[in-house]
């Protein structure tokens, strides 16, 4: 970069930091988020010609404008959080599971299948038990396939999980046509609308169930990763597979076990989406959250507690941007643009946490 100054000392050089106080690291991240929000406001202002302050107000209103909106925000937050938590053990093991989308879908499909096929063969409780078991198992199988090939032949897991996404999507499309109500409509519609068979029970109101599940999963994952033998094995395999092998861990077993867990939890998210929230299934029910979750998990540095904040940030912005697009008649992909901007800033700011820029000392100082 500094080819023309080969003789002189370069203007600056980059050194790795030893360690940075936690407070300072978070300071850098907060600065990045604030800078990103400013850029988001700027972009929105250019596109809508509204004033920036009222844009922030609109974003806030989109997420917390009414009691219902607030509940939905928290519900979306819990689903994204569960998927992010599901992917986390795999990422900690350096297994790039970008198949969350497919694992959620197939879990959702399994519960939809139970709701439709068992409708007049079993009691409500029986159906719900079947849904829970089958959706978690389906997600786990979807995680198992790439994990098995990775463990056995070191197959590239990023692409294998990705392909599993599309296979799941097409399976859902196939069953959508097969079970469509009414025939020819191309969608399933609300399943068991009159009987509510297989609808997950409501606790308090219809949003609370997913939130409670998310809290339990967060706590469980925190303990699992930090205080269990499995969690320790995952961390060692992630840092160095050879070390893990030398100390006698069965790496293949760890990979397969972790992906079963990862896929199973994604299946659980699918169960909540189909059985608890939407009561139907479409090919877009996961809505790209399998991919967003990768970033949520990474931004939180694989820490389940931090993940609550990162997923909140993404959901908050997404709902806010949704409100902006509705108000100004713009396309709903607007939220993806804002999410992208925020992500670029946070990804970029990590550099300043791990590295330090030393500027060339001025001549006067050197001569002293």
Looking at residue 272, what DSSP letter applies?
Answer: I
User: H helices within the chain, ranges in order?
Assistant: 22-48, 52-64, 67-92, 100-117, 124-153, 157-178, 208-227, 229-239, 241-246, 251-271, 289-299, 304-328, 334-354, 363-367
Q: Which stretch binds another protein (CB under 8 A): 33-41, 67-75, 250-258, 339-347?
A: 339-347
Residue with tokens 């159906």: 127
| The two three-digit tokens of residue 144, written as one number | 């198992």
Nearer residue to another protein within complex by CB, 154 or 194: 154
| The two three-digit tokens of residue 236, written as one number | 């060692």
Site for another protein contains 50 (CB under 8 A): no
Collect all residues with Cβ–Cβ distance below 8 Å to 314 and sequence separation of at least 6: 80, 292, 295, 296, 339, 342
Site for another protein contains 162 (CB under 8 A): yes
Of 235-254, which residues contact another protein (CB under 8 A)? none
Of 91-130, which residues contact another protein (CB under 8 A)? 96, 98
| Contacts with another protein, 10-49, as mask; x by CB under 8 A | ----xxx------------------------------x--
Residue with tokens 């928290």: 74
Compute the least distance from the CB of residue 121 to another protein, in Å.
Answer: 23
Nearer residue to another protein within complex by CB, 203 or 347: 347
Q: Which of 222, 250, 255 has its CA nearest to residue 238?
A: 255
Measure the CA–CA gap between 278 and 317, rounded to whole angstroms.
Answer: 22
Compute the least distance from the CB of residue 283 to another protein, in Å.
Answer: 9
Site for another protein contains 4 (CB under 8 A): no
| Contacts with another protein, 269-308, as mask; x by CB under 8 A | -------------------x--xx-xx--x----------
Nearer residue to another protein within complex by CB, 160 or 197: 160
Query: CB 141: neighbour CB atoms within 10 A?
Result: 18
Site for another protein contains 166 (CB under 8 A): yes
Compute the least distance from the CB of residue 66 to another protein, in Å.
Answer: 26
Nearer residue to another protein within complex by CB, 77 or 151: 151
Q: What is each CA distance from 224 to 196, 277, 345, in whole angstroms?
A: 35, 27, 31
- Cα-Cα-Cα-Cα dihedral sign, residues 328, 334, 339, 341: negative
186: left (phi over 0), alpha (psi -120 to 50) or beta: left
Nearer residue to another protein within complex by CB, 132 or 140: 140
Binder to another protein among 4, 331, 362, 367 (CB under 8 A)? 331
Instruction: Using CB under 8 A, list all residues that contact another protein.
Output: 1, 3, 14-16, 47, 96, 98, 149, 153-156, 158-160, 162-164, 166-167, 170-171, 173-178, 288, 291-292, 294-295, 298, 328-337, 339-341, 343-344, 347-348, 350-351, 354-355
């Amino acid at each position: 970069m500094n080819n023309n100054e080969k003789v002189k000392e370069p203007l600056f050089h980059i050194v790795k930091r030893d360690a940075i106080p936690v407070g300072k690291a978070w300071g850098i991240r907060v600065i990045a988020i604030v800078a990103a929000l400013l850029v988001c406001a700027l972009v929105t202002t250019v596109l809508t010609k509204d004033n920036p302050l009222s844009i922030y107000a609109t974003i806030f209103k989109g997420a917390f404008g009414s009691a219902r909106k607030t509940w939905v925000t928290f519900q979306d937050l819990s689903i994204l959080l569960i998927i992010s938590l599901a992917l986390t053990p795999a990422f900690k093991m350096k297994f790039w599971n970008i198949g969350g989308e497919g694992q959620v879908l197939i879990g959702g499909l399994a519960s939809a299948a139970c709701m439709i096929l068992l409708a007049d063969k079993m009691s409500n409780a029986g159906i719900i038990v079947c849904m829970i078991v089958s959706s978690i198992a389906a997600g786990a199988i979807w995680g198992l396939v790439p994990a098995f090939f990775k463990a056995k032949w070191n197959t590239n897991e990023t692409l294998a999980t990705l392909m599993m996404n599309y296979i799941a999507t097409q399976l859902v499309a196939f069953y959508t046509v097969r079970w469509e109500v009414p025939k020819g409509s191309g969608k399933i519609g609300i399943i068991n609308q009159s009987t509510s068979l297989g609808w997950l029970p409501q606790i308090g109101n219809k949003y609370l169930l997913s939130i409670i599940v998310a809290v339990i999963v967060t706590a469980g994952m925190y303990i699992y990763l930090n205080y269990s033998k499995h969690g320790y094995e995952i961390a060692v395999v992630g840092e160095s597979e050879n070390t893990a092998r030398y100390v006698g861990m069965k790496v293949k077993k760890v990979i397969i076990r972790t992906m079963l867990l990862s896929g199973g939890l994604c299946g659980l998210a699918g169960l909540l989406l189909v059985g608890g929230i939407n009561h139907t299934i479409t090919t877009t029910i996961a809505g790209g959250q399998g991919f967003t979750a990768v970033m949520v998990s990474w931004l939180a540095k694989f820490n389940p507690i931090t993940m609550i904040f990162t997923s909140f940030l993404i959901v908050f912005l997404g709902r806010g941007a949704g409100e902006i697009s509705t108000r100004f008649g713009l396309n709903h992909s607007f939220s993806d643009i804002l999410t992208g901007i925020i992500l670029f800033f946070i990804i970029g700011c990590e550099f300043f946490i791990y590295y330090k820029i030393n500027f060339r000392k001025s001549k006067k100082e050197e001569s002293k």
